[in-house]
Structure 1
Amino acid sequence: MNSIGFLMPQKLGFNESDVSEVSPCKRFVHYKKILGRGAFKDVYGGFDRVSNTEIAWCQICIEDENTMKSSSNEEKLCFEAVLLKSLNHKNIMKCFSYWVDKKNNTINLITELFSSGSLRYYRQRNGNIDAQTIKNWGRQILQGLQYLHEQNPRIIHRDLKGDNIFIDITTGEVKIGDFGLATFMQEGPLCTVVGTPEYMAPEYYDEEYNELVDIYAFGMCLLELATSEHPYSECTNPAQIFKKVTAGIQPLALGKVKDPEVKEIIEKCLVSASIRPSAVDLLNDPFFSSKNPMEIEMERDNEAQLNNSSLISTSDSALSVEQGMVQSPMAFTVDSISSLFAVGKQFQYSGSKNNLEKVLRASSSVYESSTSEVSMNSKVTFASSSGEVHGDPGFCISRLTLSGKTLEGE
């Protein structure tokens, strides 16, 4: 699938009057404003009525006069949707739903919305990226690639580039998306030549390659981040790129990388496939495996916060809560809470008032408190039988709204 340059979305909120289209299940809506546009697809900002989160609604025309007339193309798009929905990793774009609209001749995908757009858009807007950020983002991309390459059968992205890697700058999360050219690695090498020329490894042109083509493309992504230049920007057409790549001539931008460690890791990605490292090899490389004191301290803080506030116990089970996933509801969700209330169960949250608010907001529940002064205490218990919200002395939440049910507190 052709890449899209995502525009920086404004805060969408949810306003029924702005709704342009509703999904068949009535759960998802999208607005009129287009966030991004490709050769045969548009991406709209939208809203998930169940989880109360903003989403991206990708709409692909399957009868566009330029591209999408054949049934094989439709099958490829459906394959992307099925594949994306089957993947579950923190560094892979989440797909929540998809469907084919025969009446309007479209395929629709509902995915996460990335507040900061693609890596290319971010780089164009902010200029060169420092070595520490390249290390952090690169590590996350490699973790996503490792996950893909360790599937059975292995999954090869085949179009990894800045346009297809997305970032949420508020959380620092980086995720791989756009699996339109992805494929499963069967026995023996692949031979279909697809991709974006600037990011295509030399073995593509020999028509025998494996998942290591993604590592080559990863190196080119790092090169773009480090220099703010497209790989082989000195070339004016794909034929010139082909000649240089097959001759083993590296892009001129490589000589402009200032940080020697960044340059070295890029060079490791661009070597011959026979000696090119895997995603696991690179993650074990000192460049990515070593962490500075600030990173270590942040991880400790996050772990401590998680240990302090991630356990919600019920009479039958325990629900784990992952902090920091503001756009992605985890185990502590509106549905899970509502189901507990529906069957009359009680559950207890252990943690501070601040962490409680974070958990509720991270789970996309609608949380309201008309009392601004709430003391930091250790426990609060939600009891469905009486509809009360209460806790230890000094801990008072006046209103809690969950899936339309308002519970009044003390």
Structure 2
Amino acid sequence: MRICLDLTSGSGCRHANPNTAKRCQQCGRPLRNVLELHDPGTLVQHYRIERVLGHGGFGAVYQAEDTRRGSFVALKETFDPANIRRFQREFDVVKSLSHPNLPYYFEAFEDPDGGSGYLAMEFIPGHDLKERLNQQPGTPLPEREVLGYAYQLCEALEHLHRQSPPVIHRDIKPDNILITKDTRVLKLVDFGLVKQMGAGPTSQIALTPPYAPPEQWGGGTDERSDIYSLGATLYHLLTAQVPPVFHQRTEKTPLTPPCHLNPALSPRVSEAVMRAMELRREDRFASVREFRLAMLDTPFLVGGLSPIPVATPSRSTHPHSPFPTVPSVPTVQEPPAPPRWSPSSPRPGTTTPPPPPHGKGPVLALWWGCWCCWSPSRGERSGG
């Protein structure tokens, strides 16, 4: 396929044309600035392309079959030299991370003939939290449901921040949080902006404004920056309103407490989210665990109630992923110590679901949203 990237119309045409087309079938302009996509059946090393999941100005995401493992992967491709370097950096940081709420990365490589860079990772059927919000536009998600999401996200972030040096995600937002189709386990994805503490401020400012803390605009971030972004994400889920960019918050127009926008919300959760979104990082929670305990020590979790309906815990949908079972939210009588997950100790009674059906079902690709304009194929991001 040849994707028209003519920018005369502003955001670009982005129509998919046959490989033999000289002019765009949509806008009629000559196909001079195009994005060449792999056709189904094309082999990229040992990955056989199945279909295009999405594309943007600098690359594409495919569902591909790993012919060595006999399973599906999400294969990201970029044509931009700077993004090729980012792919390798992203892989180097996250390749050793093993956690049920994080995607599994297989490899990063460069095609010497085509000049493209590739990143192969776990293929995750499901939908993201932005789509979950869009199922009922303008309606906040139930607090119990959001607390279930918050628990899993805190688990993922605590794991990242426990690394040596700590790993900072730097792009937490509803779009980058996937709900797996069958198990309803969350996956925090898109590590394109990931940073290891001690690496120094980044010279490139890449962020998603409503969810980015003030310090990220200057390139300097730490664990508390992720706490702000997580708080902003929960603010969006609990109020159905995109949080304001930090510079829009002044003494005359302060951040509206979530419970003022959603009267059904408990004051305790509202106050925890507000503290997480403090403009001065010194005023936020000192750790994700502290934030988690402030939210989850609530009546909603007493008496054995789980904040969200979670399917029987199971292993990752990828047959070669090393992850054990994912815990549902526990009953909380006293502030809990963070659960310990051991790759060598899977929980009893678990089963491994079959790989996703060939070419069927809703699918989410892992995408680098800050750098590319996401353009999903029709029907690919339907909620499940």
Give TM-score scaled by structure 2 length. 0.64
Which residue in 2 is equivalent to 1:295? 306
SS of alignment partner, residue 283 of structure 2? coil
Task: Kindly state the Cα deviation for residue 74 of structure 1 after the two structures are TM-superposed.
Answer: 3.1
Unaligned runs of 5+ in 1: 1-17, 63-70, 233-240, 303-321, 334-351, 367-410
Report whether the alignment pairs 1:100 with 2:110.
yes
How far, CA to CA, are the matches of 1:61 and 1:192 in structure 2?
19
Unaligned runs of 5+ in 2: 1-38, 325-347, 358-384
1:38 aligned to which of 56, 72, 92: 56
Matched letter for residue 274 of structure 1:
E
Report whether the alignment pairs 1:257 with 2:262.
yes
SS of alignment partner, residue 49 of structure 2? strand
Task: Kindly state the Cα deviation for residue 106 of structure 1 after the two structures are TM-superposed.
Answer: 1.5
Matched letter for residue 123 of structure 1:
L
Report whether the alignment pairs 1:215 with 2:223.
no
Which residue in 1 is equivalent to 2:375? none
Which aligned segments of 4 or more residues in structure 1 are displaced greater than 6 angstroms? 187-192, 296-299
Report whether the alignment pairs 1:61 with 2:84.
no
Task: Kindly state the Cα deviation for residue 178 of structure 1 after the two structures are TM-superposed.
Answer: 1.1
Which residue in 2 is equivalent to 1:267? 274
- 1:194-250 deviations in Å (ceiling 9; x for gaps): 311111112335665422111101011111212333222xxxxxxxx3532476954
Residues 59 and 117 (structure 1), Cα distance of their counterparts in 2 relative to 1, 3 Å cut: farther
- 1:76-128 deviations in Å (ceiling 9; x for gaps): 23211222323211111111222111322221122222222322123223554
1:180-329 map, 5 Å: 180-186=192-198, 193-205=205-217, 208-232=220-244, 241=245, 243-245=247-249, 249-251=253-255, 254=258, 255-258=260-263, 259-260=265-266, 261-271=268-278, 272-277=280-285, 278-285=287-294, 287=296, 290=301, 292-295=303-306, 323-329=314-320
Is the 8 Å Cα contact of residues 61 and 106 (structure 1) preserved in structure 2? yes
Identity of aligned residues (%): 23
Residues 292 and 171 (structure 1), Cα distance of their counterparts in 2 relative to 1, 3 Å cut: farther
SS of alignment partner, residue 78 of structure 2? strand
Residues 55 and 191 (structure 1), Cα distance of their counterparts in 2 relative to 1, 3 Å cut: closer
Residues 252 and 116 (structure 1), Cα distance of their counterparts in 2 relative to 1, 3 Å cut: farther
How far, CA to CA, are the matches of 1:92 and 1:171 in structure 2?
14
SS of alignment partner, residue 116 of structure 1? strand
Matched letter for residue 152 of structure 1:
S
Residues 291 and 190 (structure 1), Cα distance of their counterparts in 2 relative to 1, 3 Å cut: farther
SS of alignment partner, residue 77 of structure 2? strand
Residues 40 and 276 (structure 1), Cα distance of their counterparts in 2 relative to 1, 3 Å cut: same
Which residue in 1 is equivalent to 2:42? 21
How far, CA to CA, are the matches of 1:78 and 1:230 in structure 2?
32
Residues 42 and 330 (structure 1), Cα distance of their counterparts in 2 relative to 1, 3 Å cut: closer
How far, CA to CA, are the matches of 1:136 and 1:142 in structure 2?
10
- How many residues are paired up? 287
Is the 8 Å Cα contact of residues 154 and 288 (structure 2) preserved in structure 1? yes
Is the 8 Å Cα contact of residues 129 and 174 (structure 2) preserved in structure 1? yes
Matched letter for residue 230 of structure 1:
V
Is the 8 Å Cα contact of residues 87 and 108 (structure 2) preserved in structure 1? no
SS of alignment partner, residue 117 of structure 2? strand
How far, CA to CA, are the matches of 2:153 and 2:77 in structure 1?
26
Task: Kindly state the Cα deviation for residue 132 of structure 1 after the two structures are TM-superposed.
Answer: 1.3
Q: Identify which of structures 1 and 2 has the higher relative contact order when contacts are C-alpha pairs closer than 8 Å and 6+ apart.
A: 2
Task: Kindly state the Cα deviation for residue 363 of structure 1 after the two structures are TM-superposed.
Answer: 7.0
Which residue in 2 is equivalent to 1:317? none
1:17-166 map, 5 Å: 19-24=40-45, 26=46, 28-32=47-51, 34-62=52-80, 71-127=81-137, 128-166=140-178
Give TM-score scaled by structure 1 length. 0.60
How far, CA to CA, are the matches of 1:218 and 1:126 in structure 2?
22
Residues 209 and 160 (structure 1), Cα distance of their counterparts in 2 relative to 1, 3 Å cut: same
Comparing 79-88 with 212-221, greater Cα deviation is found at 79-88
Is the 8 Å Cα contact of residues 47 and 54 (structure 1) preserved in structure 2? yes
How far, CA to CA, are the matches of 1:219 and 1:263 in structure 2?
10
Matched letter for residue 266 of structure 1:
V
